[in-house]
Amino acid sequence: MDDDLIVADMYRLALSRAGHEVQVANDGVAALRAILSSRPDIVFLDIRMPKMDGMEVLRDLASADLTRSIPVVMLSNYDEPRLVKESISLGAKQYLVKAGTNPAELARVVSQWVEAA
């Protein structure tokens, strides 16, 4: 989930080249809808998004039975400690800063949090 299409494209490329099926949503509302309908194995969540920001999405995911168990990794350009703390306390597994993250890394992150199918 990222409102920046170019960034989303880049991660999509990296993940699909690593053999994963990728869905992209560009705002919080679309993100929730997509997650609820397709039940992904892992969600990479940006914070700054229109309509509903990442933290809200995270809260909703954590409170719904259907989605509670899906691992969520924050992928944002904010590096404020309070955001990191809040997202972890809401149930996010990890907090990554985009500008410092090799997209190829994402594949490794996936295998870390998703039990082997």
Partner 1 sequence: MTTTGHRGQQHELVDLAFDAMFIRTFHDRIITYWNEGAQHLYGWTRKEAVGRQPAALLASQYPIPLEQIERELEIKGRWEGEIIQRRKDGRTITVRARWGLQTDAAGEPQSILEINSDVSPERHAVDELSRSEERFSLLVSAVVDYAIFMLSLDGRVVSWNEGAQRIKGYSHDEAIGQHFSIFYRPEDVANGKPNRVLEQAIEHGRFEDEGWRVRKDGSQFWASVVVTALKDRGGVLRGFAKVTRDITDRRLAEQAREADRQREAAELRGDAERLAELERLKTEFLNLASHELRGPLAVVRGYNWLLRDNVLTIEDLPAITKVVEAKLTQMNLLVEQMLEAARLEAGKSNLNQTTFDLRDLVLEQAQTFASVSDEHSIEVVQRDGPVMVAADGARVGAVVANLIDNAIKYSPHTRDVKVRVDKKDGYAFVAVRDFGVGIASEHIHLLFKRFSRLPTEQNITTGGTGLGLFLCREIARRHGGDIEVESSPDHGSEFTLRLPAVG
Residues of this chain that bind partner 1 (CB under 8 A): 3-4, 6-7, 9-11, 13-14, 17-18, 48-50, 53, 77-78, 97-104
Euclidean distance between CA atoms 106 and 117, whole angstroms: 17
The encoded tokens of residue 62 equal: 């954590």
Consecutive H or E run containing 17: helix 5-17
Closest CB to partner 1 among residues 69, 100: 100
Between residues 46 and 67, which has the closer beta carbon with respect to partner 1?
46
Do residues 67 and 34 make contact, with C-beta atoms less than 8 angstroms apart?
no
Token output for 52: 């509903």
Nearest distance from C-beta of residue 52 to partner 1, angstroms: 11
Minimum distance from residue 8 beta carbon to partner 1 (Å): 10
